[in-house]
Amino acid sequence: SSWNPDMVREGARIAAAEAAATGVRWTFAPMVDISRDARWGRIAESLGEDPYLASVLGAAMVKGFQGDDLSAPGSIAACVKHYAGYGASEAGRDYAATTIADNEMRNVYLPPFKAAADAGAATFMTSFGDIDGVPATGNDYLINGILRGEIGFEGLMISDWDSIGQLIIHGFCEDPTEAAKVAAEAGVDMDMMSSAFVDCLPALVREGQMDEAVLDTMARRVLTLKFK
C-alpha cells in the first residue's frame, strides 16, 4: 500500500503512454476487488482489503490510464474488474462461489467500483464467480440494476475470459445459446473468448428469442468506445 494516489496515477499514465505507443489502447485494469483471504491467489493483483483505499487508488489508476480525453495520444481505456465480489470466493478458491449479504456487498465490495465509474472508467469486466447462486456474468440485478441503474455507468461491459461459457459450468445455463442470451440480457456487451455471442446471438434474434434492441444497445456501446 503506497497510500499515494498521485504516484499510482502517474504509474498508470506512464503505462498508458507505453501501451498506446505500441497500438494497445485498452487495458484490463484496475483490479479493485476487495481481497481479505490470503489463500486467494489473485490477492497480489488487488488494491487491498480496505474499500476506501481501493476506491481512491482505483480512481487514480482510471484517471492515469485515460487522462481527460480517450482520443489523445498516450491515453488508453481502463477496464475495472472484476464486477463484483470476486475476492470473496469461498476458501480462496478461484472461479468459485461467493455468499455476500447485501449490506456487505454495498458497503465493502461495491464502493471501489462506484468510485471508478465516477472517475469516468470507460469499461467494466464481470467476475467469474457467482453471488448467492447467480453468476456475475448473468446477473441482471448486479449489472443492469445496480451498476447501470443506480451507479449510472453507461460504458461497455465485457465478460471475463470465457465467463459466459462458464455460466454452463456453474449450472446456471444449459447450453451456449442460453448462456449468450442470459449474459446479453443481463448487460454484458462483449464476449471474451467463449464465442457464444458470435455463434448464438444472430439466431436468437432471427428466431425472436431475443429483442433486436438488446443487440443494438450492445453494438452501440462497443462502437461508442471505438469512436472515443
Q: Is the pLDDT of residue 1 over 80?
A: no
Percent of the chain clearing pLDDT 90 (strictly above): 92
Q: Is the pLDDT of residue 106 over 80?
A: yes
The closest of 214, 134, 132 to 173, measured between CA atoms, is 134
- The residues carrying an active-site annotation are 160
Cell of 157: 461491459
Say what the pTM is.
Answer: 0.96
Contact 178, 170 (CB under 8 A): no
Q: Is the pLDDT of residue 192 over 80?
A: yes
Contact 35, 87 (CB under 8 A): yes
Contact 60, 78 (CB under 8 A): no
